[in-house]
Amino acid sequence: MTTTPALSVRSLSVNFGSNRVVKNLSFEVYPGKTTAIVGESGSGKSVTSLAIMRLVEYMNAEITEGSILFHRDAHGDVQDLTQLSDKAMRKIRGKDIAMIFQEPMTSLNPVYTIGDQITEVLVLHEKHTQASARAEAVKLLKLVRLADAEALLKRYPHQLSGGMRQRVMIAMALACRPKVLVADEPTTALDVTIQAQILTIMRDLQQELGMAVIFITHDMGVVAEMADQVVVMRHGEKVEEAAVEEIFARPQHPYTQALLAAVPKLGSMQGEDLPRMEPLVELKGDITHTRGESRRQDTAKLDVTPVVEVENLVTRFDIRKGFFGGISHRVHAVENVSFTIFPGETLALVGESGSGKSTIGRTIQQLQESTSGTVRFGGKAVADMSRAEKMRLRQEIQYIFQDPFASLDPRKTVGFSIAEPIRTHGLLHGSKAIRQRIDQLLERVGLSADQAERYPHEFSGGQRQRICIARALASKPKLIIADEALSALDVSIQAQIIHLLMELQQDEGLAYLFISHDMAVVEKMSHRVAVLHLGQVVELGSRRAVFDTPHHAYTRKLLSAVPVADPSQRRERVLLQGDILSPIRKVGDEPEHLLLKQVAEGHFAAQEASGHRLVS
Amino acid sequence: MTAAIKTNKLKRFKNLEFILGVLLIGGIGLAVIFSGWLFPGGGSELNLAYRLTPPLVEPSFPLGTDPLGRDVLARVIIGGEISLKVGVYSALGAVVIGIFMGLVAGYYGGFLDMIVMRFADVQLALPFILLAITFIAVIGGGLTNMIILLIISQWVQYARLVRGSVLSLRDREFILAAKAIGVKDVRILFQHLLPNLIGPVIVLMTLNVANNILLESSLTFLGLGVDPVIPSWGGMLAEGRTYLQTAWWVSVFPGLAILLTVLGLNLLGDWLRDVLDPTGRTSL
């Protein structure tokens, strides 16, 4: 380790008004090394990154105490960033210290080409001429492994995929060969395979350029892959700092222990036939304690009529273009998908963006018309149902969305929202009976009855998702479709909600269609898994079969891309190539339907010899 | 926390807004309602001997008299009836129709939307005065007809505003969640969409009330409005215009009445919008 750190933060405090969001924080980053700052929402990790860039001042916050020392080189040229003038800071920002943000679309200006935006930085900071800046831009795009860099310069941000945009952002950040790179959740908005690509590129570039990287994330898996040193933050304070192996092997602080216990680890269920309800590790004050027992989730009734049978489901969206509005392209969101869900069973649909997993959920919930195929509920085809029967379906199938805040009406009390299914389907009469049921439901999901009169914005993210679950339970459904219902939550909250969902399954015999991109969560709670790619099932089988003996190349690719929250298992990774393929095709160019072949009892996988290039 | 201090300050300001608004609108409203009892003469007795008396000179004419010697105070208070009726009724009528059309057009879209919006475009292209002259010539003048005319010319604004909000709201997840539960369209429209878009509508409405009071005066001035003998704020403004340099009070006091009404309505509208928003953040 080099003796001089590139950046050292010393007892830094940041205030929003009189509200202290970062308290007395100290850490260091060394050249060529990565310090990860981890924490859940509200821990102050993002504010810390903005403080280093001195961008907090634009958010009406101020650095009240401490210093941020930037060591330009090993010979003692030190600058305290907190003391610099705005003008001096502008010279450092983007040149010596660069930043990458979470959302690559919003961080790029949509009306300028990629080339314009990269050259702007070079002309501004490096005093390049336009021509030399363009040549340098091409070099930079090649550096982040973007093929066909010259053509890319003329493109606009919206013409690139999410992963490509994030690589462009990295290229821009690296334009002036910064000494320190601050990366604020750079892969959170990306699919796992793309995340794996970006992480590999970042690690390689760090080696090449000897940068110090401050990596801010909530994902312990990413930490295990990337970090050398880890700073754990909670409520604006550092609770623990150690080398990455130490943190994972011997976490000292109870908060770190609870956090690590909550992280679902891919591969932890190896060899188990059924999902297992794990006890919850909770933090009360500064002491961890465990609640609940470890129990096999033996709830699936496979010998009765399935709750839902989906047969050869196809859903396509037309894209109209041109003067006469003719259909030129189609989005092949779902192609020939079949599966069944039994009472008490959790079927997981996994896949990356554009795999059609949400469209399947929405089609079953009748929020989306299918192009062809049948959906049977309780043995009867939905297409043959009367209006009243279809209405009844809306009672028996409930949907939970990804963002609990967006799916609750902000102008209505949560009590009103929970009562909505009861009122809509006339399940109870009289406001007193309804009120009692609401109280009961709120308590069932771990909230208290007196919270019914409050509005959604008065709750935390986890509580809001509990409210959405209470609303879903209100109509006594048989099937709950959970569409990325855990993705927006912090890991500790996520663990609690998983626990709640499994408990409800045990008590009420609920079936779940669990739609997720998160392989580790899927492994934890599902009985069977269907892997989707470009709208088609490429592999379907019991959780154990799919995770322990993945058969299809795409499943294996997905599994290998998931960062594992264990630094001792850090793999030398080959760069996964290729982008996520688009499900948009020209009219007439229909995708070939994959044939599922039984590879073992109840385990199906698509044949790959069909010339259908799945993994590019 | 400064945030807390800020919200406290804001809250105090909001309360002040409410109290001021209630005082203004309540005072004006009461005065107008009891105007017949306060001024049994209807403010139309002529006192030519006292014509153009300045305010605070004659104790029986505290706000002075107009060129025909009529009591300005009495006329301002009695004239409030016509002005407020025109302003409030026409704005209310336009809001109700506009909201309904906007909700339906935005939510269902398609052909219905096209019809409503093209109709609105045609109407926006038509100059108001042309519409007014044609309308009054065919149907005839009078208070009711004028209110109808104003409703016809203004519902479009609300419809467009509401439709725009519906378009951005209808794909939000909470609307999707309501659909997934099976909530009926009527309930989605009026229980979920309406409360979420009412804020800007209220603000537009308070502005429109003021605008309509002035429009009434121009229509009356053109001879398209109510009988000019009946006092109204707009009418008095127009009358006093020629005396502005010699007898300012003839037009200033009705003008002040309009100003205070509009101020009061704006304060109340602002307060109402914030009260209806449980998150406490101001939209718009």
Q: Please judge whether B173 and A407 are an interchain contact, meaning their C-beta atoms are less than 8 angstroms apart.
A: yes
Check whether residue A251 and residue A170 sit in a common domain: yes
Check whether residue A329 and residue A208 sit in a common domain: no
Q: Give A376's pLDDT tier (boundaries 50, 70, 90).
A: very high
Tell me, yes or no, whether A612 lies in a domain: no
Tell me, yes or no, whether A248 lies in a domain: yes
Picking from A18, A394, A455, the nearest residue to B181 by CB comes out as: A394
Mean pLDDT for A199-220 is 90
Q: Is B169 on the interface with A (CB under 8 A)?
A: no
Check whether residue A18 and residue A122 sit in a common domain: yes
Nearest to B100 by CA among B89, B112, B111, B88: B112
CA distances from A140 to A69, A199, A471 (A): 28, 17, 51
Q: If 0-12 CB within 10 Å is exposed, 13-18 middle and 19+ buried, where does residue B284 land? A: exposed
Q: Please judge whether B192 and A410 are an interchain contact, meaning their C-beta atoms are less than 8 angstroms apart.
A: no
**DSSP state letter for A234:** E
- Residues whose CB falls within 8 Å of the CB of residue A68, separated by 6 or more in sequence, listed in order: A7, A8, A9, A10, A12, A51, A52, A80, A81, A82
What pLDDT is recorded for position A159?
83
Q: Give A611's pLDDT tier (boundaries 50, 70, 90).
A: very low
For residue A543, give how far its alpha carbon lies from the nearest alpha carbon of chain B (Å).
29
Q: In what side-by-side order are the strands of the sheet with A19-29? A: A19-29, A7-16, A61-71, A78-80
User: In terms of residue numbers, what domain contains A363?
Assistant: 308-408+477-606
Tell me, yes or no, whether A289 lies in a domain: no
Picking from A19, A409, A455, the nearest residue to B192 by CB comes out as: A409
**What CA–CA distance (Å, rounded) separates A343 from A348?**
14
Beta-strand pair A308-321/A397-400:
unpaired
- Residues whose CB falls within 8 Å of the CB of residue B280, separated by 6 or more in sequence, listed in order: B7, B274
Q: Is A363 on the interface with B (CB under 8 A)?
A: no
Tell me, yes or no, whether A240 lies in a domain: yes
B141-154 confidence digits (pLDDT tens): 788 999 999 999 99
Q: Is A459 on the interface with B (CB under 8 A)?
A: no
Picking from B5, B6, B182, the nearest residue to A395 by CB comes out as: B182
Check whether residue A249 and residue A360 sit in a common domain: no
B44-63 confidence digits (pLDDT tens): 777 778 777 788 887 778 88
Picking from B3, B184, B195, the nearest residue to A19 by CB comes out as: B3
Tell me, yes or no, whether A271 lies in a domain: no
Residue A84: CATH number of its domain: 3.40.50.300
- Residue that terminates a domain, selected from A229, A245, A261: A261
- Residue that terminates a domain, selected from A241, A261, A281: A261
Check whether residue A236 and residue A326 sit in a common domain: no
Check whether residue A256 and residue A325 sit in a common domain: no
Instruction: Count CB atoms within 10 A of the CB of residue A27.
Output: 20
Check whether residue A248 and residue A324 sit in a common domain: no
Helix (H) or strand (E) holding A310: strand A308-321
What pLDDT is recorded for position B284?
35
Measured between its terminal Cα atoms, the distance across chain B in Å is 26
**Chain A interface, mutation test: which of B9, B173, B191, B193, most A Cβ atoms within 10 Å?**
B173
Tell me, yes or no, whether A229 lies in a domain: yes
B203-251 confidence digits (pLDDT tens): 899 888 878 887 887 787 777 777 777 888 888 888 888 888 888 888 8
Number of domain units in chain A: 2
A63-92 confidence digits (pLDDT tens): 998 999 998 876 778 889 988 888 888 888
- Contact predicate B175/B192, CB 8 Å: yes
A589-607 confidence digits (pLDDT tens): 888 888 888 888 889 998 8
CA nearest to B279 within chain A: A457
Q: Is B58 on the interface with A (CB under 8 A)?
A: no
A234-248 confidence digits (pLDDT tens): 988 999 999 999 999
pLDDT beyond 70 at A615? no
A164-190 confidence digits (pLDDT tens): 888 888 888 888 889 999 999 888 878
**DSSP state letter for A102:** S
A507-540 confidence digits (pLDDT tens): 999 999 999 988 889 998 899 999 999 889 999 9
More confident residue, B194 or A95: B194
CA nearest to B278 within chain A: A411
Q: Find the angle CA(B237)-CA(B242)-CA(B248) to the nearest 5 degrees.
A: 65
pLDDT beyond 70 at B281? no
For residue A455, give how far its alpha carbon lies from the nearest alpha carbon of chain B (Å).
7
A477-488 confidence digits (pLDDT tens): 999 999 988 888
Check whether residue A201 and residue A332 sit in a common domain: no
**Helices then strands (H, E): number in chain A?**
20, 27
Check whether residue A255 and residue A125 sit in a common domain: yes
Nearest to A483 by CA among A546, A382, A395, A401: A401
Instruction: Count CB atoms within 10 A of the CB of residue B136.
Output: 19
Tell me, yes or no, whether A429 lies in a domain: no
Residue A202 has φ and ψ, to the nearest 5°, of -60, -40
Give the lowest-confidence range in A51-65, A122-136, A276-290, A392-406: A276-290
Report which residue type is found at A17: G
For residue B198, give how far its alpha carbon lies from the nearest alpha carbon of chain A (Å).
11
- Contact predicate A467/B177, CB 8 Å: no
pLDDT beyond 80 at A578? no
CA distances from A461 to A188, A406, A416, A466, A492 (A): 17, 11, 19, 9, 12
More confident residue, A583 or A443: A443
Mean pLDDT for all residues in chain A: 87
Q: Is A407 on the interface with B (CB under 8 A)?
A: yes
Check whether residue A402 and residue A486 sit in a common domain: yes
Q: Is A430 on the interface with B (CB under 8 A)?
A: no
pLDDT beyond 60 at B161? yes
- Residue that terminates a domain, selected from A205, A227, A261: A261
Tell me, yes or no, whether A290 lies in a domain: no
Check whether residue A212 and residue A67 sit in a common domain: yes
Interface A-B: count of C-beta contacts within 8 A:
75
For residue B191, give how far its alpha carbon lies from the nearest alpha carbon of chain A (Å).
9
Q: Give B196's pLDDT tier (boundaries 50, 70, 90).
A: very high
Q: How far does Cα A411 stand from its chain's mean position?
A: 28
Picking from B3, B172, B182, the nearest residue to A425 by CB comes out as: B182
Residue B150 has φ and ψ, to the nearest 5°, of -65, -40
Instruction: Count CB atoms within 10 A of the CB of residue A561.
Output: 19
Picking from A399, A410, A475, the nearest residue to B177 by CB comes out as: A399
What pLDDT is recorded for position A571?
65
Q: Please judge whether A455 and B184 are an interchain contact, meaning their C-beta atoms are less than 8 angstroms apart.
A: no
**What ipTM was predicted for this assembly?**
0.78
Q: Please judge whether B180 and A399 are an interchain contact, meaning their C-beta atoms are less than 8 angstroms apart.
A: yes
pLDDT beyond 80 at B78? yes
Q: Give A576's pLDDT tier (boundaries 50, 70, 90).
A: low
What pLDDT is recorded for position B9?
67
pLDDT beyond 60 at B278? yes
Check whether residue A195 and residue A334 sit in a common domain: no
pLDDT beyond 60 at A6? yes
